[in-house]
Amino acid sequence: MAAACAPLAGDLRSQLLASVDALLFDCDGVLWRGESAIPGAAQLVNRLQECGKLVFFLTNNSTKSRELYVEKLQRLGFRAHCQQIYATAPCAALYLRREIQLCGSVYVIGGAALRGELQAQGIVCSGPGPEVTPGTLQVWATEPLDLTVAAVLVGFDEQFTYLKLCRASRYLRDPACFFLATNTDTLLPLEGGGIPGTGCLVKSVEAASKRTAYVIGKPNDFMFKCIVNEHGIDPSRTVMIGDRLDTDILMGSNCGLRTILTLTGVSTLEEVKAHQESDSPERHKLVPTYYVNSVADLLPGLE
Amino acid sequence: MAAACAPLAGDLRSQLLASVDALLFDCDGVLWRGESAIPGAAQLVNRLQECGKLVFFLTNNSTKSRELYVEKLQRLGFRAHCQQIYATAPCAALYLRREIQLCGSVYVIGGAALRGELQAQGIVCSGPGPEVTPGTLQVWATEPLDLTVAAVLVGFDEQFTYLKLCRASRYLRDPACFFLATNTDTLLPLEGGGIPGTGCLVKSVEAASKRTAYVIGKPNDFMFKCIVNEHGIDPSRTVMIGDRLDTDILMGSNCGLRTILTLTGVSTLEEVKAHQESDSPERHKLVPTYYVNSVADLLPGLE
């Protein structure tokens, strides 16, 4: 039997908030949509911090540095500083430097922010090399590779090309070459229905290399582990708040946290119900502990 | 218990050849490797035709038209004409025109040969449109689509970009838009270990659209059905000869044909053994009826 996914209302709000020291917020669909803050979200986040709660921002988006996130949060009225930001670009850099202590450079499929975060950790980015190598496919199949490359990292890359796919797959033929992805979301939500997410690029590199990437982002627990290491938070006194069952809520479940689904983003209560009614224990992990219509609904719990 | 995969030697060769009217050959790894014919392959193919056998060439490669295949076969010494060529580019065009009688144009990820074969069947190719639309991701998410597009076709495309992925996925949001792939091979064999095949691009479009492409190429039976329709061959008197278990041999099994694995290409007898010893009936379909070291080994069976 899966958890109940209770509406977080009435006294339950203050009880829950009293029982947590740390709140982990997904950003897009939870605190804002595009360039508009969710009404009341900034008041909640600021009030939580005034009450002494630890607040962290967790995002799978790999196109922004910590600094750019702080800038956006502040622009939308949220009190925030760099140490609260856990995004896949800086966390990928941390993983390469601290966890696997990479010796060598990284072949990056991704944008300027991802490269910047790697460089900030002292990691050298290879290439990308000339984007159009003259000659035939046979030239692409045999062009010299950068012998210093010891990892391939795939993030969001609007300049993704077949040639980058080709190069990544050739580096990954060496089983000693690490294979990392920032995240596996297949949709980047935007007005107009969104565009393909990083996960679509990861799929093509996985197919070409017949390997599976280690994924930094949610639902994996790496970003949460970073927060525990750096801030010493207690999982039993932490709650994860997100709009996606398959990333935010699943990460919370994977890390043993209580979870809150907010209905201002991607997932719906109908999806929750389908997971609850399923016989699969794996799907039960996608059921949040609580839900709210908007994170602003938590505000009265602080009064 | 899986089939035996007998060596095709001695009298078995002439018995087998006497029992077939039609022979279906995969090309790369069977008749040639790159620009070099497999020694003896052209003599076999030419002698078979002199003996009154029907010979057909089946390839998953979508980068060549029928004419280019005839040219290559003749250059390497094979007697061949257009009606014997079953490649995924012309067969995709046939599928769109005859099977689904497409009303509308096709958004093509693929090269000039694929477009040429579509146009030869009177099918209009949309776009591809400007390869770099100025502006932001938000522009790409909302740029006007070609309202005549009724199908997306993915073939090999060395000019594959994120923008093409984005456009394909936006067309495929309409459930009435057909989704076709020429083939799903993830490796294009070339000197130097090969480069990513069409299957890697298909994976990314499938992930972005949350849909599964209908696949024209082997192991699907569409090319075989075309040959049956156009030439009236009898499956019980037909043999499929190829170098790949997961495409050539599986297609033969799917179509109820006897099959011959030739060891001049991708698959090995070790792989055959692993499939034979598996408990999975699905894997037994990958076990060929016979094997030869090279198609040239069939020649004495004609004497």
End position of a domain, from candidates A215, A240, A259: A215
Whether B268 and B293 have beta carbons less than 8 Å apart is answered as no
What mean pLDDT do residues A134-148 have? 87
- Whether residue B38 contacts residue B32, with contact meaning beta carbons closer than 8 Å, is answered with yes
User: Does the beta-carbon distance from A204 to B208 stay under 8 Å?
Assistant: no
Q: Kindly state whether residue B37 falls inside one of the protein's structural domains.
A: yes
Instruction: Examine residue A1 and state whether it is found in any structural domain, yes or no.
Output: no
pLDDT of A30 reads: 97
Residue A88 lies in a domain: no
- Residues A196, A112 within the same domain: yes
Same domain, residue pair A108 and A209? yes
Chain A environment of B186 (Cβ under 8 Å)? 207-208, 210
Cβ–Cβ gap A195/B166 under 8 Å: yes
Rounded to whole angstroms, the Cα distance separating B12 from A146 reads 52
Cα of A10 to nearest chain B Cα, Å: 39
Query: How far is residue A170 from each of residues A64, A85, A160, B41, B187, measured CA to CA in Å?
Result: 28, 34, 16, 32, 11
SS3 B242: strand
Give the mean model confidence (pLDDT) for residues A165-194.
Answer: 95
Whether chain B has a CB inside 8 Å of the CB on A128: the answer is no
CB contact under 8 A, B190 and A161: no
What is the total residue count of chain B?
A: 303
Shared domain check, A172 and A271: no
Contacts of A187 in chain B (CB under 8 A): 208
Same structural domain, B210 and B260: no
Answer whether residue A96 is part of any domain: no
Which residue range forms the structural domain that includes residue A118? 103-215
The pLDDT assigned to B219 comes to 97
- Which of A199, A215, A231 delimits the end of a domain? A215
A210 shares a domain with A239 = no
* pLDDT of A127 over the 60 cut: yes
* Under 8 Å between Cβ of A126 and A77: no
- Compute the 3-state secondary structure of chain A and give helix, strand, coil in percent, each to the nearest 5: 40, 20, 40
Cβ within 8 Å, pair A207-B195: no
Return the ∠ at Cα B254 (arms to B248 and B256), rounded to 5°.
105
Query: Quick one: CA dihedral A276, A281, A228, A222, positive or negative?
Result: negative
Phi, psi of B217 (to 5 degrees): -80, 175
Whole-angstrom distance, CA of residue B51 vs CA of residue B17: 10
**CB–CB of A30/A266 below 8 Å?**
no
Q: What is the pLDDT of residue A134?
A: 67
In the predicted model, what is the mean pLDDT of residues A188-196?
A: 89
Residue A76 within any structural domain of the chain:
no
Count of structural domains within chain A = 2
Assess whether A210 and A272 both reside in one domain: no
Please report the sign of the dihedral spanned by the C-alpha atoms of residue B275, residue B281, residue B282, residue B284. positive
From chain B, the residues in CB contact with A162 under 8 A are 157-161, 196, 201
Q: Which residues of chain B fall short of a pLDDT of 50? A: 1
Assess contact for B135 and B116: CB atoms under 8 A. no
Q: Tell me which residue has tokens 């016979």.
A: B290
CB A57 within 8 A of CB A272: no
pLDDT of the residue at B1: 47
Q: Which amino acid is at B190?
A: L
Same domain as A225, residue A211: no
User: How far is it, in rounded angstroms, from Cα A277 to Cα B160?
Assistant: 42
Q: CA neighbours within 13 Å on the CB side: how many for A106? A: 30
A203 contact partners, CB below 8 Å, separation of at least 6: A186, B203, B204, B206, B207
Which of residues A184, A215, A246 is at a domain's end? A215
**pLDDT at B139 (0 to 100):** 87
Query: Across chain A, what does the average pLDDT equal?
Result: 94
Q: Do the strands B258-262 and B195-196 form a parallel or antiparallel pair, or are they unpaired?
A: unpaired
Instruction: Looking at the structure, tell me whether residues B245 and B194 fall in a common domain.
Output: no
- Tell me the nearest-neighbour CA distance from B98 into chain A, angstroms: 31
Q: What is the dihedral of CA A251, A257, A263, A268, to 10 degrees?
A: 60
- A26 catalytic? Reply is yes
Report if residue A264 sits inside a domain: yes
* Together in a domain, A148 and A196: yes
What residues form DSSP beta bridges with B221? none
Cβ–Cβ below 8 Å for A141 and B190: yes
Q: Are residues B196 and B153 in the same domain?
A: yes
Q: Which one of the listed residues A21, A26, A146, A157 is annotated catalytic?
A: A26
A130: pLDDT strictly greater than 70: no
Q: Do A166 and B138 touch (CB under 8 A)?
A: no
Give the span between the Cα atoms of B81 and B58, in whole angstroms.
13
Examine the domain organization and report whether A232 and A205 are in the same domain. Answer: no
Residue A74 lies in a domain: no
Using the Cβ of A86 and the Cβ atoms of chain B, whether some distance falls under 8 Å is answered with no
Any domain includes A260:
yes
One-character DSSP codes across B178-204: EEEES---SEE--TTT-EE-HHHHHHH
* Same-domain check for residues B243 and B211: no
ipTM for this prediction: 0.92
Tell me, what CATH number does B197's domain have? 3.40.50.1000
Our answer to whether residue A248 is catalytic in this structure is no
